[in-house]
Amino acid sequence: MTGATQQPIRFLLSDMDGTLLLPDHTLSQRTIAAVRSLREAGVLFSLATGRPPKAMLQQIEALGVDVPTAAFNGGTIVNPDGSLLVAHYLPATAALTTLAQFADLPDIEVWVFSGGDWLLKDAYGPMVPREQHGLGYPPVVVESFEPYLERIDKIVAASNNTGLLIELEAQLLPKVEGQAQVSRSQPVYLDVTAMQANKGAALATLAEYLGVALEQTAALGDGGNDPAMFHCAGLSIAMGQAEEAVKRQADVVTGANTEDGAAQAIERYILPRHPT
């Protein structure tokens, strides 16, 4: 976050769930039109999400994204043709610590993402239908996560008990300090990824790749994993429904995702800065 710079914005990096997407995981026509207006103005646009790469394909196509995108909170950066530009895996020691912390807790579902697959032990957990709807593909049921320890992209604790996830975050952080990032991407998800897997590093990597100075970048998001890119961007924008701790770390706040807040942000804060 660099304050009230008025430089033209040449690159916008946006979160997806809770930001670009409506609660039913769809894109509004206003949002699609706003992103189209960015492209017409010569502003580059990409996505940074906690989702796996293949759970972004529909949105990439709908929005016409033609530059690399960041999945797994920046742990994986993927070229438009699907090839990997960057991949950071969770260290096995941190994965074991995390899985031990999450094991056998009531109200907690544990998911592991590896090699493009969504792995879990219980296919009938109450959070599974929501995730499957959002991702667009089903999970793979496994007896153990151990065979995947060397190539884990992300571990998620999922629960409708937000207070419990906040407690878990506080308990886990000191145990994996220096080894892993721990953040709530949404109130119901606690994500654990590699140290290098954060949206701030993703923004810096993408900006350098695209030849854009950080002062001419903008970041848009709503979750606990988004301030990392807020602090790197020339302009940071929080969604209206974001938690107060997230809003405080942004330069400006736009409307909620139910109010086309992403489109509002593009129309109000980005397009007017771009020379016509």
Would you state the pLDDT for residue 2? Answer: 43
Residue 5 has pLDDT above 50, yes or no: no
Per-residue pLDDT of 89-118, as tens digits, reads 999 999 999 999 999 898 999 999 998 899
CATH architecture of the domain 11-87+197-273 equals 3-Layer(aba) Sandwich (3.40)
User: Among all chains, which residue has been given the structure tokens 């792995």?
Assistant: 119
> Class of the 92-194 domain?
alpha beta
How much is the pLDDT for 1? Answer: 41
Mean pLDDT of the chain: 93
Residue 175: the pLDDT is 97
Supply φ then ψ for residue 218, to 5 degrees: -130, 150
Q: Which distant-in-sequence residues (6+ apart) come within 8 Å of 45 by Cβ?
A: 11, 12, 14, 35, 38, 39, 63, 65, 67
Q: Would the pLDDT of 254 be above 50?
A: yes
Would you list the domain boundaries of the chain? 11-87+197-273, 92-194
Torsion sign over Cα 155, 184, 30, 200: negative
User: What count of other Cβ atoms lies within 10 Å of the Cβ of residue 126?
Assistant: 12
Mean pLDDT of the 254-272 span: 96
